[in-house]
Chains A and B, each alone.
Chain A
Amino acid sequence: MIFKMAWRNLWRHTRRTLITCVTVGFGIWLAVTLSAVGEHSYSTTIDTGARMGAGHVTVQPDGYLDKPSLASRIDGVAALRDKAAALPHVNSASPRITGQAIFTKAGNSRGGMLIAIDPRYESASSSYFVEAMHGPHAEGALFETPDAPQIVLGRTMADYLDASVGKKLVYTTTDKDGDMVAGAGRVGGIFETGVPEIDAGVVLVSIDKAREVLGYGPDEATLIAVTVDDQHAAQEVRDALAPLAPKGASALTWRETMADLVGFIALDRASNQFFQFFLGLLIAAGILNTILMSVLERKREFGIMMAIGMSPWRLFNIVVAESFFIGLVGLALGVVFTTPWAIYLDVHGVDLSSMYGENSTMGGVVMDPIMRFHMTGQLLAGIVGTMFTLTLLAGVYPAIKAGRVPPVESIRMI
């Protein structure tokens, strides 16, 4: 009877109840959208960061993260790469040599990041730069063998050095012992990402040529970058790789290698949740207002119910049940509002590049300008649970008030 009465009470003022339920539904829509879009943005940014840097999981020399140097290296990378590539969730495992260098052509010099790669183990899904070489603005091609003499560089650096495809470029750096060394090659390709820091600062060379120049052994590299099919599996892969890492090297996840990005995401997520919590409070205030108004209008009825023997606890439950139904209908409306929107965002997305530019960055990592939807069960449960709890809590004060109605004053028999 409690639920029956609560449900019918709600529809005594259909318009008022509907407005309140729509508010709850809108709140769920907004909270889900903010969270899902944020999560998609974080997820793609982490993946892009992994492809721009050292992968979701990295095996690298101890201390390299704090003090990157070409003198730091690990041995036995071929076997380790093969083992890493065979692990579950692993998409790619790529040995790389990375360090700073000065690039020179005909008197023009510019500093930048030298990244030596083995093209056999790299693809657009493992490397942001390789993907850029397949982009519409790229020129030339990526070298195809690990000992290819070609060099690939970003558009801005190429323009600065006046280095077009086919031109010779010299790079100067320090070798494994810290001595100055120089290498050279002809420009094989020029990529353009649109990100100034990358286009002006990244140069790719083949890994065997880099080993020759730097005095590395044939099985040595700075690190092995591992990308995975699900960033949440990074810890599992890291745990599997840790015992395989050579002495003096460690396996790290993206959380350790991209600490700036992790901090930025944590801050952004916290501010998002803070905003959503306040949004929830505002909606709860609206529900409180509706239920309280409805309780005050029914004081007489509550008095009668108490007179005929209904306990204050039962009255409390009737009003809380009304909140529960508002939450339930609001949730259903939230599903109705959110589902088509989620499908649209998932399939088409919303292009925000006109607002934020093609290549805005977060924590130094390129963000996807297309707003899309990424919702996890845990996140959805959190939003629905919070909204439902706030809805129920909004009913508690009016419910207490209903239970305290003095019957004699309400009935006005006097």
Chain B
Amino acid sequence: MADAIVKLDHVRKVYQQGKIEVVAVDDVTLTIDKGDFAAFCGPSGSGKTTILNMVGMLDSPTAGKVVFEGKDISTLNRTALSRLRKDRIGFIFQAYNLIPVLTAFENAELVLELQGVPAAERRTKVMGLMAEVGLQGMEHRRPDELSGGQQQRVAIARAIASEPALVLADEPTANVDSDTALAILDLMEKLNAERGVTFLFSTHDQKVMERARRIIRLHDGNVVADERR
């Protein structure tokens, strides 16, 4: 049996919208294993992003607990959570969310600098990553000088630069054309296979679902199916 990287134990998340309580996630229990290439699927409002947020320690459950690498994250303060995100988790957002004042190289380098990696080592590593994601020669471009697909590649480079245990990707192909989406999926698969990075993403995209080795289907905040291929 594979080692668990994340465990959700009877996790529930309720949002207050005015006087109405909205149940985004309702009593979800599941385990994400190291090396998984798993996708959360389901219609809008099914709770995909909410679960990703809680796994990524950006949000906390209303009830139940999230355990990351054996640590109950509800016991950690803001600084400890921030340190854990920096060292163990990579994020890829739907809207790329690069830092606009930094170049592609600097965006990918940022997490390494936060980790205190020496400049020379950072340079070697980031240049290698840029080549790996197909952005060689574009290192010094700012996000507004890159296409959507190129920006998402930078986001992937940033997410894996720190060699995280887990990469969370929220609709990573939603804002790119189909060719670019396929290229991004190839890249993520390659990183999963070669580096053993665990990928957990949410998607509506049938092509993405076809490539995932594990599909967790959600509906109204509940896990309705968990299929492994």
Contacts and interface: CB of A to CB of B under 8 A. Distances in A.
Nearest to B89: A309
Contact of B111 (A300, A308, A311, A314): A308
B106 A1 contact: yes
Interface stretch (B32-40, B95-103, B214-222): B95-103
B50 A414 contact: yes
Interface in A298-349: 300-301, 304-314
Nearest to A9: B101
Interface stretch (B52-60, B130-138, B205-213): B52-60
B85 A413 contact: no
A312 B158 contact: no
Interface residues of A, number: 24
Contacts of B115: 309
Contacts of A9: 101
Contacts of B110: 1, 305, 308, 310
A414 B110 CA distance: 25
Q: Which of B24, B91, B109, B115 has the most CB of A within 10 A?
A: B91
Contacts of B102: 4-5, 8
Interface in B146-191: 158, 162, 170
Interface in B57-111: 58-59, 78-79, 82-83, 85-87, 89-91, 93-94, 97, 99-102, 106, 109-111
A411 B58 contact: yes
Q: Is the interface of A mostly helix, strand, loop or mixed?
A: helix
B203 interface: no
A42 B172 CA distance: 70
Nearest to B171: A413
B183 to A, nearest CB: 23
A407 to B, nearest CB: 5
Contacts of B52: 413
Q: Which residue among A4, A301, A304, A307 has the maximum number of chain B CB atoms within 10 Å of its CB? A: A307
Interface in A368-412: 407-408, 411
A407 B158 CA distance: 17
A413 B100 contact: no
Nearest to A407: B58
B86 A308 contact: yes
Contacts of A304: 91, 93, 97, 99
A15 interface: no
A12 interface: yes
Q: Which of A9, A311, A413 has the most CB of B within 10 A?
A: A413
B82 A413 contact: no
B88 to A, nearest CB: 9
B226 to A, nearest CB: 22
Given A8-B101, A413-B94, A414-B53, A312 B58 contact: no
B93 A310 contact: no
A407 B87 CA distance: 17
Contacts of A12: 100-101
Q: Which of A4, A301, A310, A414 has the most CB of B within 10 A?
A: A414
A408 B58 contact: yes
B102 to A, nearest CB: 7
A301 B111 CA distance: 14
B198 interface: no
Contact of B97 (A1, A4, A300, A311): A300
A411 B83 CA distance: 19
B196 to A, nearest CB: 21
15 contacts: A1-B110, A1-B113, A4-B106, A300-B97, A304-B99, A305-B99, A305-B110, A307-B58, A307-B91, A308-B110, A308-B158, A313-B79, A413-B52, A413-B170, A414-B49
Given A1-B113, A411-B97, 10 more contacts: A1-B106, A4-B102, A304-B91, A304-B97, A304-B99, A307-B85, A309-B82, A309-B87, A310-B82, A413-B170
Interface of A: 1, 4-5, 8-9, 12, 300-301, 304-314, 407-408, 411, 413-414
